[in-house]
Amino acid sequence: MGKSNSNQQAGLWKITWPLFLEILLFIMMGNADTLMLSQYADDAVAAVGVSNQVLNLLVIMFGFVTTGTAILVANALGAQREEKARDIITVSFWANGLFGLIISLVMGLLGWQIMQWMNLEAAVLEQAAQYTQWVGGFLVVQALVMTVSASLRAHGFTKDSMMITLGMNIINVIGNYILVFGPWGLPSYGVMGVAFSTTFSRILGMIVGLVYLQYKLKRPIKRWSKITAPTKYLKELLRIGLPSAGEHLTYDATQMVVTYIITFMGTAALTTKVYATNIVMFIFLSAIAIGQGTQILVGYKMGSKAYKSAYQQGIQSLKIAIGISFLAAIVVYIFADPILAIFTQDPEITVVAKQILLLSILMEPGRAFNLVMGNALRAKGDVRYPMYLAMASMWGVAVVFSYVFGLGFGWGLIGCWLAFAMDEWLRGVLMLIRWNKGFRDTGALRAMSF
């Protein structure tokens, strides 16, 4: 694993640009589904959008293990403990595989009932339920894909992980085209075509990723019996991963509640949210990549006890992420009309979506605070604070004020987005204060222990 150490010591740019492209490709995969379905039917877009809210919540649960994997492997490599890094990867693989299998069985059996709880119109419900049962029934594949990706990233092989995602993206787009539009006289499957294509591309990505991981890292995945202390490493993964994933779990849970609130505004509002969310993702993907790259670098520096360098890395990354997010939001708003025209010609949807993109200029720099500082704090070992803060602010600010502004004041989706912005900025500023305090108490650099 000697080469991985040099990768770990690379600068933020070298670590981040493949992460940026990988996340971009991942988002484009979701956008490809939305874009192709928008040419099929707006009801289909709403169905897949609501279903993915639920499925994304479950995917976040796999982060219980993979988030801990990325941090602990980076920390172990920084401390020159390569065998421990191998053992952590092995435990992560088997634990997430078992967890993913359980989740897949539940979704395959109960997907229809879960969609019935979402207050959907009849035409949307049937499509959403079918999509949920099929894609949810194969979530174990996504669990293993995430484990492979986390292991490669933690070793600094972000470019390799990006190439696997690129392959999945290409296969998904081709599959969507064939199964949704039915060229050459083939049948069209609509929403189920997207479900088949998504699942097939993930299965191929998992197979390629596992083979590549075993080759690149010289067979890091072993039999459970070959691990020195599997229970100990599983506890370490969960100690880091549970609070870390808890923040993301809280986000998706609150988004589901907000989506439920939006269903009372009508299908047009629900469809607008799906389109706007897909577009806004392109604004903050740079902050996601910088946050993940920062986590790798800070984790490595904490492992090698370079505490001053770890602190400086967090601040430098934050400044870069805020600047890029602000500029990206402005650019997207300037080109809002042609971008929205790609998805829809409905003037009601276009007007509201454009207002949301204007609000994003205010909101996205605040989100950059969260994405960078949250990852930096977790890599530093401060994993509970971001979760507690997220639970308090997302439920107390984002959800409460989405209801108050959106339904109570009658501001609709604009009220919901204003509530999101309040939540992002509040959490971001408080996490920056926490970051500074953790290193500067009593005037000395101090790091929290792992």
233 to 73, 236, 375, 383: CA distances (angstroms):
11, 5, 21, 17
Most confident residue range from 67-76, 287-296, 314-323: 314-323
Q: Which band of pLDDT confidence, cut at 50, 70 and 90, is reported for residue 307?
A: confident
In this predicted model, which residue has the larger pLDDT, 128 or 326? 326
Split at pLDDT 50, 70, 90, the class of 80 is confident
Phi, psi of 186 (to 5 degrees): -75, 155
Q: Look at 101-105, 247-251, 315-319, 368-372 and tell me which has the smallest mean pLDDT.
A: 247-251
Q: What is the pLDDT confidence band of residue 34, given thresholds at 50, 70 and 90?
A: low
- Helix-, strand-, coil-residue percentages of the chain, each rounded to 5: 85, 0, 15
Q: How far is it, in rounded angstroms, from Cα 241 to Cα 259?
A: 26
* pLDDT at 447 (0 to 100): 43
* Per-residue pLDDT, 323: 92
**Residues 372-376: what's their mean pLDDT?**
89
Average pLDDT over residues 356-370: 91
Question: What's the average model confidence in pLDDT over 159-181?
Answer: 81
| 73 contacts 155 by C-beta, under 8 angstroms | yes
Checking if the pLDDT of 12 tops 80, the result is no
pLDDT at 393: 94
- Quick one: pLDDT at residue 262? 87
Which residue has better confidence, 93 or 182? 93
Band of pLDDT at residue 442, cut at 50, 70 and 90: very low
Question: Is it the case that residue 384 has pLDDT exceeding 50?
Answer: yes
Q: How many CB atoms lie within 10 A of CB 69?
A: 30
Cα–Cα distance measured from residue 416 to residue 438, given in angstroms and rounded to the nearest whole number: 33
Q: Are 209 and 217 in contact (CB under 8 A)?
A: no
Tell me the whole-structure pTM to 2 decimals: 0.68
Q: Are 129 and 90 in contact (CB under 8 A)?
A: no
Q: Which of the given ranges, 79-93, 106-120, 334-348, has the highest pLDDT on average? A: 334-348
- pLDDT of 449 higher than 60: no
Long-range own/partner contacts, residues 345-352 (CB < 8 A, 24 or more apart): 346/42, 346/268, 348/268, 348/272, 349/268, 349/271, 349/272, 349/275, 352/269, 352/272, 352/276, 352/412, 352/413, 352/414
Residue 91 identity: V
Average pLDDT over residues 349-365: 90
Q: How far apart are CA 214 and CA 151, in angstroms?
A: 11
The residue with greater pLDDT, 252 or 27, is 252
Cα torsion 302, 308, 309, 313 to 10°: value is: 90
Identify the residue with better confidence: 8 or 221. 221
Region of poorest pLDDT, from 184-188, 282-286, 408-412: 184-188
Residue 401 banded pLDDT, cuts 50, 70, 90: very high
Average pLDDT over residues 209-237: 73
Could you tell me which residue, 11 or 252, shows the higher pLDDT? Answer: 252
* Mean pLDDT, residues 277-292: 83
How many CB atoms lie under 10 A from the CB of residue 26? 18
Average pLDDT over residues 10-19: 69
pLDDT score for 358: 92
Res 195: pLDDT: 82
pLDDT at 414: 92
Contact 177, 35 (CB under 8 A): no
pLDDT tier at 9 (50, 70, 90 boundaries)? very low
Q: How many CB atoms lie within 10 A of CB 101?
A: 14
Task: Please indicate whether residue 61 or residue 72 has the higher confidence score (pLDDT).
Answer: 72
In the predicted model, what is the mean pLDDT of the chain? Answer: 80
